[in-house]
Amino acid sequence: MISAPIRSILALTAKRTAVTSAANQVRIVEVGPRDGLQNEPKLLPAATKIELINQLSETGLRTIEATSFVSAKWVPQMGDNAEVLRGIRKVPGISYPVLTPNLKGFESALEAGAEEVAVFGAASDAFSLKNVNCTAAEAIERFKPVLKAAQKHGVRVRGYVSTVVGCPYEGAVAPSAVVKVVEALYQMGCYEISLGDTIGVGTPGTMRRMLDEVTKVVPAKDLAVHCHDTYGQSLSNILVSLDYGIRVVDSSVSGLGGCPYAKGASGNAATEDVVYLLHGMGLDTGVNLDKLIQVGRYICTEMGRTSESKVNRAWKGPQARVQ
């Protein structure tokens, strides 16, 4: 029979092991099929997008953003959203969220079989006006019917906040402005908030100042980062987020895409580079890097472009790893 003190020690050890295990795991949110492709000049057929998502599903990724239910008039690359969502092979254990900017988009997504959606706000009023023709606060109001409908149908909602450190139209964005939008989305019921450096101007310094304030209103476990590499800072900024306990990172296979409303804002963090970094730190993503690299090469061949991932361009196989 185990004594009470021994049971307490065993329970504490198990708790510490669980905490350590969670701290060593990072979930990658693959945004290439949506955020990556929406800003590419070449329109890909739905069959290619479906194949891309199906291949990504074989890499160990747990979250793959599939498409966006926005107006094809404004984002023609996403005009085949329902066909793509219905056509992919949904693997148990993998989430395939879609972007739904309003109730109409949500209803269309639900009809196409969406089980998780995302709403997209901005910390900058100028960016919000250019993007969705309303202020940041007005955009939040538009999301309320979406959150209400999602709750009714048992659909999880992820929140995005763009321009968290800088805006292409108004410059630096104050952390207090970010906090307002993040807190509003969280209180409305978004299970996770992704913090987007939309134009890639963030540095470890500006990221820290922003995260210092945001983590006061939303716990790190419910936050994600979405860093662009426009100025070559994405990996550095991701490292900063890890220091705050954030364990969800958005990235795009081969660094595809950017934002169609922010001129010059190209280059999501490349998933291959992010995974290589995290694995080198001893963190577990569950992603098979070799398979991921092959997917990156597939989509770049289909698009007739070079991969933006340094790891993908340099990769010679598993033997290339430095242990």
**DSSP of 233-244, one letter per residue?**
-HHHHHHHHHHT
**DSSP of 46-101, one letter per residue?**
HHHHHHHHHHHTTTT-SEE--EE-S-TTT-GGGTTHHHHHHHS-PPTT-B--EE--
Radius of gyration, CA atoms only, the chain: 20
By 3-state DSSP, what share of the chain in percent is helix, strand and coil, each rounded to 5?
A: 50, 15, 35
* Contact assessment for residue 267 and residue 39, using Cβ atoms and an 8 Å cutoff: no
CB neighbourhood size of 280 (10 A): 11
| Residue 259 bears catalytic tag | yes
Residue 124 CA to residue 71 CA, distance in Å, equals 22
* Contact assessment for residue 261 and residue 130, using Cβ atoms and an 8 Å cutoff: yes
**DSSP of 164-176, one letter per residue?**
SSEETTTEE--HH
Those residues with Cβ within 8 angstroms of residue 109's Cβ, 6 or more apart along the chain or in another chain: 69, 81, 85, 98, 100, 117
* Contact assessment for residue 73 and residue 39, using Cβ atoms and an 8 Å cutoff: no
Interior angle at CA 185, CA 268 and CA 151, nearest 5: 110
Residue 209 CA to residue 175 CA, distance in Å, equals 7
* Contact assessment for residue 215 and residue 223, using Cβ atoms and an 8 Å cutoff: yes
Identified catalytic residue from 167, 190, 227, 259: 259
Q: Which residues are catalytic?
A: 259
